[in-house]
Amino acid sequence: MPSTTVNGRHILKQHATGYPIPGTTTVYDTSERLDLDNVALNGGVLAKLVILSIDPYLLHSVSPGSPMEQAAETCSSEAYGSDRINGMGIVKVVRSEDPAYKVGEYFTSSLSRARLTSSSDHQEYSVFSKEQLSSLQHLKPENGLPLSVYLGAAGAGARSRFIPSLFKMYQPCIPSGLTAFAGWEEFSNAKKGDTVFVSTAAGAVGSIVVQLAQNQGLKIIGSAGSDDKVKYLKQLGVDVAFNYKTTDTREALEKDGPVDIYWDNVGRDTLDAAVENATSGARVIICGAMSSYNGETTAGVKNLIHVTFKSIVLYGLSYFDIAHKHDAKFKETVIPKLADGTFKYLEDRKFGLDKAPQAILDVQNGANFGKSVIVVGDE
Amino acid sequence: MPSTTVNGRHILKQHATGYPIPGTTTVYDTSERLDLDNVALNGGVLAKLVILSIDPYLLHSVSPGSPMEQAAETCSSEAYGSDRINGMGIVKVVRSEDPAYKVGEYFTSSLSRARLTSSSDHQEYSVFSKEQLSSLQHLKPENGLPLSVYLGAAGAGARSRFIPSLFKMYQPCIPSGLTAFAGWEEFSNAKKGDTVFVSTAAGAVGSIVVQLAQNQGLKIIGSAGSDDKVKYLKQLGVDVAFNYKTTDTREALEKDGPVDIYWDNVGRDTLDAAVENATSGARVIICGAMSSYNGETTAGVKNLIHVTFKSIVLYGLSYFDIAHKHDAKFKETVIPKLADGTFKYLEDRKFGLDKAPQAILDVQNGANFGKSVIVVGDE
């Protein structure tokens, strides 16, 4: 009898239209067992999940009825009918039948979206078939940065450019570091003397944006959802940091604005307040819309008159359309700054894949402090 | 005893926060009399209003509590405390003490916003003091086009570029022709094979946009608020024309989209439907927000996820920031096409300044068919 190992999985048990309910709609399941030594690879690779990235966009894997999922469908034109949850992670090769993938090497994995022959999802062990190997990207940690940082502040690449046919197969991998850098480079058009407002400024993307703006000597207003996060923003050197739960965003911007650049991670009232307190010619970079991820559809700009009167431009930031243009410069300029401590990053580390259901919800509720990662296995 | 003439005026009797109520908040008043032969000019000009332009943005003169007014205030930083209603018109010089302004000549007038010594508002006769003469721009009708068309389809200029200090003094003049042309040239980035959606496509701006798109051979979807307007759009050669009151915009765009360019005149649900049915990289030109002019604040993009997933850019079109760049080409290319009948235009003509209160409301409700003008006096 071959010996088998429990292959813990984070799966979608029931569809949810709003936030997932850990333990009900999303569960950690230990019913699957795998014979690590003998499972057929068919020219592929058996890999162990080491670090899992927990990001806001994961909601569309765990709440297939959400507006986010609908938007994704218009891109992928493929129905989602699986109990699998996909995201971004770092895997380590355990067995290999392909010489390009050596045992012990690390790969960033975009994990598979489609139901292919083998599994490659939120689970401790995955077999990547020959066809699925293109979803893996070799990761060589340098500069002494911990592996997990390559899923966050130092995260880049994953795929050089957006290929619609691959998007049907693989979930988007959107590392926060290059998201911030590419969006800032592409759209901010930052000028000396500009005032920048960043919402969820202590978050994985926001905190990098803040430091990029700071690096250019701009005035920075940052909002966050707890006093601890506000304290962190002040440590980062943010000029005006406030807790949006206790300070009215509109009042804060009236006092310390107007705003030339708004990096929007939340949408809804915050976006409205920013547009109302924007200068003529202001740029709004719409990076996320946390307030509408959960199925509510009231997010957005209510008062478009400000947009027209003030020639405001709102840019939708889609990582895949711009990341490849800024990847090289990011690696050259930002990663060294992270490694030598000039740029700061924070991680919210949890241990064990059984923490995944709660971690996804925490990110939606802002209960994480720093980039959320789950350490699944030993490095 | 000098003989005096009734100087009919359209004035703001009460403030309104939503739509004006003709006869209550806005009234036609005949209590003022003027001695045309002897009124002091102090180096200025006495002019007779010939044609008055009735445009959506007038709401912020007649409903000072509306969001539109609030937006204007953030630009002008001047409190509005007058019973005067200002807009754009064409005036004819009756008496002059300035040799640069000759009796019988026509001028486009941006009318005065501030309470200066003499009046220059929605009224039959106005004295433009020496200081106010800069609000007049000489108009020499050419090409045989009726005078009124220079307030609409052939309307351009008024001021070569936005000067904030003048904005405090004078209301914006936003002629529909150059608004359409400048916005299209600046933001559309139209490419062969593109599909364009225009809301209020039969309107003063929309109908020019439609013809500019048609001139480039693009596929055009146009919506309007009546079957007559839809019929007119079909006469213009719009590929897909529909009445948004009887056809669901979302369904129409699902069927005949997706949309590469959306020219937005309305905001709210229509903007949402367009964003949901937009291609990756789509351009949205936000020219107006009729659905939020009246004090309601529910307009806007509800589903920002589409904006981010599809790298959509939303451009706020502020006439004053871009018109000067496109003025010359507009006069060279569009006005001749209007004069020779290649480009069509429709006017909704009313006679007499007493029609102004209702005309402003009609434009808000879409009850006008074509560019709304009031013929106030004989040419």
Q: Do B286 and A307 touch (CB under 8 A)?
A: yes
The partner residue sitting opposite B289, judged by closest CB among A272, A308, A318, is A308
One domain for residues B278 and B184? yes
Q: Check B313 against A318: CB less than 8 A apart.
A: no
Residues B119, B257, single domain; the answer is no
User: pLDDT value at position B301?
Assistant: 63
Place of tokens 């020499």: B140
Among candidates B73, B10, B7, B3, which has minimal Cα distance to B35?
B3
CA distances from A258 to A8, A166, A243, A278, A281 (A): 50, 42, 18, 5, 12
Residue B278 token pair: 């937009």
Residues of chain A neighbouring B74 (CB-CB closer than 8 A): 276, 306, 309-310
Q: For residues B319 and B358, which has the higher predicted lDDT (pLDDT)?
A: B358
Residue A134, domain member (yes or no): yes
* Chain B residues in contact with A305 (beta carbon < 8 A): 67-68, 71, 289, 292-293
Residues A189 and A303 in one domain: yes
The string of pLDDT tens digits covering residues A202-225 is 988 999 999 999 999 999 999 999
Residue A162 lies in a domain: no
What pLDDT sits at residue B86? 75
In a domain, B252, yes or no: yes
Whether B333 is covered by a domain: the verdict is no
With tokens 């507006």, the residue in question is A67
A63 found inside a domain: yes
Range B145-164 average pLDDT: 69
Residue B130, pLDDT score: 86
- Give the ipTM: 0.73
In the predicted model, what is the mean pLDDT of residues B38-54?
93
Asked which of A39-48, A54-63, A134-143, B5-14 is least confident by mean pLDDT, the reply is: A54-63
Query: Which of the four pLDDT bands, split at 50, 70 and 90, describes residue B108?
Result: confident
For residues A49 and A143, state if they share a domain: yes
- Within this chain, do residues B15 and B127 fall inside the same structural domain, yes or no? yes
Number of domains into which chain B is organized = 2
How far apart CA B126 and CA A268 sit, in angstroms, is 46
Q: Is residue B116 part of a domain?
A: yes
CA distance to partner chain B, nearest, from residue A77 (Å):
13
Whole-number pLDDT of residue A301: 63
- Judge: A306–B72 Cβ closer than 8 Å, yes or no: no
Best B189, B308, B314, B320 member to test A by mutation, with max A CBs in 10 Å, is: B308
Q: Is residue A357 part of a domain?
A: yes
Q: Are residues B267 and B369 in the same domain?
A: no
Band (pLDDT 50/70/90 cuts) for residue B247 is very high
Per mean pLDDT, which range of A19-33, B154-168, B198-212, B259-273 is the poorest?
B154-168
Same domain flag for A225 and A270: yes
With bands split at pLDDT 50, 70 and 90, how would you rate the model's confidence at B75?
very low
Neighbouring C-alpha atoms within 13 Å toward the C-beta of B163? 10
Per residue in B116-140, is it b (16+ CB within 10 Å) or e — as a string? eebbbbbbbbbbbbeebbebbbebe
CB contact under 8 A, B300 and A298: no
Question: From the CA of B144, how many Å to the nearest CA of chain A?
Answer: 33
- Contact list in A for residue B68 (CB cut-off 8 A) is 305
The answer on pLDDT for B37 being more than 80 is yes
User: Which of these ranges, B41-55, B104-118, B170-184, B350-364, has the smallest mean pLDDT?
Assistant: B104-118
Claim to verify: residue B47 and residue B135 sit in the same structural domain? yes
B307 and B365 together in one domain: no
Closest-CA residue of A relative to B309 is A318
pLDDT for the residue B174: 67
Least confident of A24-33, A140-149, A337-346: A140-149
Q: What percent of chain B has pLDDT over 70?
A: 82
Are A212 and A146 within one domain? no
Of B67, B304, B314, the CB nearest to A292: B304
CB contact under 8 A, B300 and A303: yes
CB atoms A74 and B300 under 8 Å: no
| Residues A52, A189 within the same domain | no
Range of the domain at B100: 5-152+345-375
Query: What CATH number has the domain bearing residue A130?
Result: 3.90.180.10
Chain A: residues touching B (Cβ < 8 Å): 67-68, 71-72, 74-75, 267, 271-272, 276, 280-281, 286-289, 292-293, 297-318, 321-322
The pLDDT tens digits of the residues spanning A178-201 come to 999 999 999 999 999 999 999 999
Q: Closest Cα of chain B to A37: distance in Å? A: 41
More confident residue, A325 or A74: A325
Enumerate the β-bridge partners of residue B285: B263, B315
CB-CB neighbours of A115 under 10 Å: 9
The answer to whether the Cβ–Cβ distance between A302 and B304 falls below 8 Å is no
Q: Give the confidence band of A66 by pLDDT, cuts at 50, 70, 90.
A: low
Task: Please state whether A266 falls in left (phi above 0), alpha (psi between -120 and 50) or beta.
Answer: alpha
Where residue B215 sits, what CATH number does that domain have?
A: 3.40.50.720
At B66, the pLDDT band (50, 70, 90 cuts) reads low
Same domain? B351 vs B291? no
pLDDT, residue A338, reads 94
Give residue A288's pLDDT band: very low, low, confident or very high (50, 70, 90).
Answer: low
